[in-house]
Amino acid sequence: MRTSPNVIITGTPGVGKTVHCEQLAQETGLKHLSVNQVAKDRDCYESFDEERKSWIVDEDKLLDAIEEEVLQGGYLIDWHACDLFPKSWIDLVVVIRCPSTDIHYDRLASRGYHEEKLQENLDAEIFGVLLEEAREAYDEEIVVELNSENDGDVDSNCARVSQWVENWKKQHEEA
């Protein structure tokens, strides 16, 4: 039985997933699991998409690579998709949003995204694609939407998630 929860921090590129995960790891003691880093380190790729200039992750290989660790609990899973992770692995899904297209555009442009990839990510954010995926893949009561536009948003979002983690641990101590 896990003594710490697994939390997915998801959202389109540029919304602040990694910043949230890094701060939450310090605040909660949970481990930051960057799926992009795991895919690179453990060679979990199918192919390279020349058009988008990005690697296509082999989801089965990825899940096999992290299963043993994640089943022990205590992870902040940082990735732009969430619906591939089995429901039994996940205790909370946090969808980070950036409703301001101007702010989001600037964040993506600063990463050097080419226009097509940039527009694709902005469209996904505008239409709430990742929030919808999360709601379809997991029980609605474990899916939380948080905005990340202003400097103070990260602190308040992390405080909220940290409190949730603390409550989860207390509930599971007593069980």
Tally helices (H) and strands (E) across the chain.
Answer: 7, 7
Residues placed in the known binding site for ATP: 14, 16-19, 111
| Residue 126: predicted pLDDT | 94
How confident is the model over 58-85, as pLDDT tens digits?
999 999 999 999 999 999 999 999 999 9
How confident is the model over 92-121, as pLDDT tens digits?
999 999 999 999 999 999 999 888 889 999
Q: Are 35 and 77 in contact, with CB atoms under 8 Å apart?
A: yes
Q: pLDDT band at 86, cuts 50/70/90?
A: very high
On average, the pLDDT of the chain sits at 94
How far is residue 48's CA from residue 45's CA, in Å, rounded to a whole number? 8
How confident is the model over 8-37, as pLDDT tens digits?
999 999 999 999 999 999 999 999 999 999
pLDDT above 80: residue 175? no
Q: Are 146 and 96 in contact, with CB atoms under 8 Å apart?
A: yes
pLDDT above 70: residue 125? yes
* DSSP symbol at 30: P
Instruction: Say which CATH topology domain 17-162 has.
Output: Rossmann fold (3.40.50)
| Residue 63: predicted pLDDT | 97
List the single range of 24-38, 41-55, 152-166 with lowest mean pLDDT. Answer: 41-55
| Residue 83: predicted pLDDT | 94
Residues placed in the known binding site: 14, 16-19, 111
| Residue 19: predicted pLDDT | 96
Backbone angles phi, psi at 94, to 5 degrees: -110, 115
